[in-house]
Amino acid sequence: MAIIRTKRLSDGSYVELLPNGKTRPSVSKTDWARVDAMTEEQIMAAALSDPDAQPLTDAQLAGMKRVPRSKTLRRALGLTQEEFARRYHIPIGTLRDWEQRRCEPDQTAKAYLQVIATDPEGVARMLQPRRASRR
């Protein structure tokens, strides 16, 4: 299952950001113009009126485990741990440690994960072995 993010464009329309970096128009049953016209108080009142979609309390949020960014990114790209590790030259044991929260990526690794998130295909392309040119 791939995670698809939605982005609002400058014209007010929404597009889905696909794992391959492309976009497509967002198909939604939500009347975003109506939501955009609501105040924060109106949005909260609407959320509280829906018994199936109650906002989480601070205590509930504090008790939840955050999913490691590396795992979220890997899943969004639709890759297994092995595929992600091989494609981006990350030792499989290191990736598993990050995902199982045995250790956190250092600042350099976090920056690398951000670059992968920004342009996954470009990073993969840059890491492919280059053929020696013949003269």
The predicted model gives 115-127 an average pLDDT of: 94
> What pTM was estimated for this model as a whole?
0.53
The predicted model gives 80-87 an average pLDDT of: 96
Torsion of CA 83, 67, 41, 58, to 10 degrees: 180
**Helix (H), strand (E), coil (C) string for the chain:** CCCCEEEECCCCCEEEECCCCCEEECCCCCCHHHHHHCCHHHHHHHHHHCCCCCCCCHHHHHHCCCCCHHHHHHHHCCCCHHHHHHHHCCCHHHHHHHHCCCCCCCHHHHHHHHHHHHCHHHHHHHHCCCCCCCC
> How many angstroms from the chain centroid is the CA of residue 80?
15
* Res 24 pLDDT > 90: no
Quickly state the pLDDT bin for 92 (edges 50, 70, 90).
very high
* Res 97 pLDDT > 90: yes
Question: What are the pLDDT digits (tens) for 59-69?
Answer: 988 888 776 78
Which pLDDT score, from 0 to 100, does residue 113 have?
A: 94
Q: Could you state, in order of their start, the residue ranges of all structural domains in the chain?
A: 66-127
Which fold is adopted by the domain 66-127? 434 Repressor (Amino-terminal Domain) (1.10.260)
The predicted model gives 5-34 an average pLDDT of: 81
